[in-house]
Amino acid sequence: MNKRNVLQAIRASGQVFKAEIARSTGLSIPTVMKITDELIARGLVKETGKGESSGGKPPQLLEFVQDRHYVVGVDIGTTNILCILMDMSANIVYKHSVPTMVDDSPDVIIDRIAASIDTVIAQSEVEQECLLGIGLGMPGLLDKETGTVLFSPDFHWERIELLSALKARYAMPMVVHNVTHSMAMAQKWFGYGRDDVNSFICVNLGHGIGSALFLDGELFSGGSGSAGELGHMTMEKDGPICVCGNPGCLEALASGDAIARRARAEISVLEDAIIRKKADEGRLEAKDVFEAAGRQNDAAQRIIGDAAEYIGLALAKVINLLDPEMIVLEGGLSRAGSSFITAIHDNAQRYQMKYAGRNTRIVVSELAEQSAAIGSATFLIKRLFDVGGDQTLL
C-alpha cells in the first residue's frame, strides 16, 4: 500500500525529492528511503540528478522509469487485430497488425491473436522478465472475472472462453477488458483524462458503436458489468434490425457498417461510379461513402448527415442523463473529417435539454488508431498502483 503510494507520488511528479514524497504521502523519511531503495532495485524508479545542497549532501532527484518495463496491448477489432508493445509512458516499441477475418471460428481467431502476440514479443526483443503482462481489448459483453466473452454481436460470439484459452500459453499476467473500457483507460492515463477530467464518456464510432463511462474518477461498469452499451440504445422503434436482434439501435443506424449498408441499399440513388464498383466487388465501406460525400454527392451527404444526426441525438441523451465533463470520440468515424464532427456537435446541441450539460465538451481522441491497444496495455500498468494489484513486481 505504502509502496504504491510512493510509486504514484513519483510518477505523478515527474521528478521529485524523497523529502517531497514524505510530505505528500505522510510517510516518514526513513520509510520513504526504504521503499525508494526497493523500487530502485526493481527498476521501477531511478535516481536522476541532484538538487541544490543546503549545506550537507545534495538531495537526490527520483524519477519513474519509463523504459525498463513493457506491456503488450491487443486491440481485437472486427477488421484487424492490432498488437503493440509499449513502455510505461505508452511509447510504442513495436506494432503488428493482421486481418481478423471475423467469420473464422473463435479457435482460429484466438490462434491468430496468439500468433500476433508472439510476433510482437519476438520482434521487439524485450526480455521476458521486463514484460509486465498482456492486456486484451475485445468488443462486447465480458465476464471480467473469468475473461469469458458473454456476447459479442460484432463477432457473433456467445460464451467464448477467450482469456483462459490464451492464458495457458503465456507465463505472465493477462487481462481482458471491453475495448471501449480500454479506450477510456487510455484517455485517463495518456489522453484527455490526464488533466483532471473526472467524468467523461468514450464513444467508439467504428464498424459498431460502443462506449465506456469514466465517472467520478473511476471506470463505471454497472451492476453486471454491461454499462456503456450506447450502440444498442433504440433510436427508432421501427428501425432496421441490429446485429443484437433489437430494432433501430444506434449501431444499426449510424455505425460504419450501417453507413456502408445503407449506401449498398441506395446504390441506384447514389449514382456514383466508384461506389458502384466497390459495391460490385463486395468491399464498399463507410469511408467510400464519406469520400463520395466529399465529391458533393447529395445522396452520400444525406446518408452521412443522417448518421451524424443519430449520433448527435444519442450524445444528447447521454448529456441529458449524465452531464459528463467530456465526450471523447474514438474509432474510424471520429477521423472521418471535421464537417462530420461539426454535424455531430450541432445535433447534440440541438437535441440536448436547455441548460443541461453546460460544461460538456465533445472532442476527438488524439490517440487515434492506437487508443484501444494502449488502453488494454494500460490496465497492467495500473495494477502496479492499485491496492491488491500486481504482486510479483511490488
Do the bridges between strand 218-220 and strand 209-215 make them parallel or antiparallel, or are there none, so unpaired? antiparallel
Given a contact cutoff of 8 angstroms between Cβ atoms, the answer to whether 117 and 170 are in contact is yes
Residues 6+ apart with CB under 8 A from 126: 70, 85, 93
Residue 7 vs 197, nearer CB to a copy of itself: 197
State in angstroms the smallest separation of the CB of 354 from a copy of itself: 6
3-class DSSP assignment, residue 173:
coil
Written in H, E and C, the secondary structure of 310-335 is HHHHHHHHHHHHHCCCEEEEECHHHH
Torsion sign across C-alpha atoms 112, 137, 90, 15: negative
State in angstroms the smallest separation of the CB of 148 from a copy of itself: 11
Residue 229 vs 369, nearer CB to a copy of itself: 229
State in angstroms the smallest separation of the CB of 73 from a copy of itself: 25
Given a contact cutoff of 8 angstroms between Cβ atoms, the answer to whether 85 and 128 are in contact is no
State in angstroms the smallest separation of the CB of 350 from a copy of itself: 8
The region of 175-183, 260-268, 274-282, 323-331 touching a copy of itself under the rule CB under 8 A is 323-331
* Among residues 18, 96, 188, 232, the one that binds a copy of itself under rule CB under 8 A: 232
The region of 73-81, 226-234, 258-266, 289-297 touching a copy of itself under the rule CB under 8 A is 226-234
- Contact between 335 and a copy of itself per CB under 8 A: no
Residue 170 vs 351, nearer CB to a copy of itself: 351
The helix (H) or strand (E) run that includes residue 171 is none
State in angstroms the smallest separation of the CB of 319 from a copy of itself: 8
The region of 66-74, 98-106, 108-116, 319-327 touching a copy of itself under the rule CB under 8 A is 319-327
Given a contact cutoff of 8 angstroms between Cβ atoms, the answer to whether 18 and 48 are in contact is no
Question: Identity (one letter) of the amino acid at 286?
Answer: A
Q: List the grid coordinates of 251.
A: 449501431
Q: What is the per-residue binding string for a copy of itself in 111-150, x denoting contact by CB under 8 A?
A: ------------------------------x--------x
The region of 65-73, 106-114, 188-196, 239-247 touching a copy of itself under the rule CB under 8 A is 239-247
Q: DSSP secondary structure string, 338-390?
A: HHHHHHHHHHHHHHSPTTTTTT-EEEE-SSGGGHHHHHHHHHHHHHHHSTT--
Biggest CA–CA distance in the chain, Å, is: 84
- Contact between 170 and a copy of itself per CB under 8 A: no
Q: DSSP secondary structure string, 140-164?
A: SEEETTTTEEEEETTTTEEEE-HHH
* Among residues 39, 202, 322, 336, the one that binds a copy of itself under rule CB under 8 A: 322
Q: What is the per-residue binding string for a copy of itself in 352-381, x denoting contact by CB under 8 A?
A: -xxxxxxxx---------------------
State in angstroms the smallest separation of the CB of 358 from a copy of itself: 4
Residue 17 vs 151, nearer CB to a copy of itself: 151
Exposure on the CB side of residue 186, measured as CA atoms within 13 A: 35
Exposure on the CB side of residue 190, measured as CA atoms within 13 A: 26
State in angstroms the smallest separation of the CB of 59 from a copy of itself: 33
* Among residues 228, 256, 332, 375, the one that binds a copy of itself under rule CB under 8 A: 228
- Contact between 291 and a copy of itself per CB under 8 A: no
CA distance linking residue 226 with residue 175, whole number of Å: 17
Residue 15 vs 320, nearer CB to a copy of itself: 320
Burial level of 198, CB count in 10 A (0-12/13-18/19+)? Answer: middle
Residue 90 vs 314, nearer CB to a copy of itself: 314
Q: What is the per-residue binding string for a copy of itself in 181-210, x denoting contact by CB under 8 A?
A: ------------------x-----------
- Nearest residue to 19 (alpha-carbon basis) of 273, 327, 11, 9: 9
State in angstroms the smallest separation of the CB of 87 from a copy of itself: 32
Residues that bind a copy of itself (CB under 8 A): 141, 150-151, 199, 211, 213, 215-216, 218, 220-230, 232-234, 237, 244-246, 249, 313, 316-318, 320-326, 351, 353-360
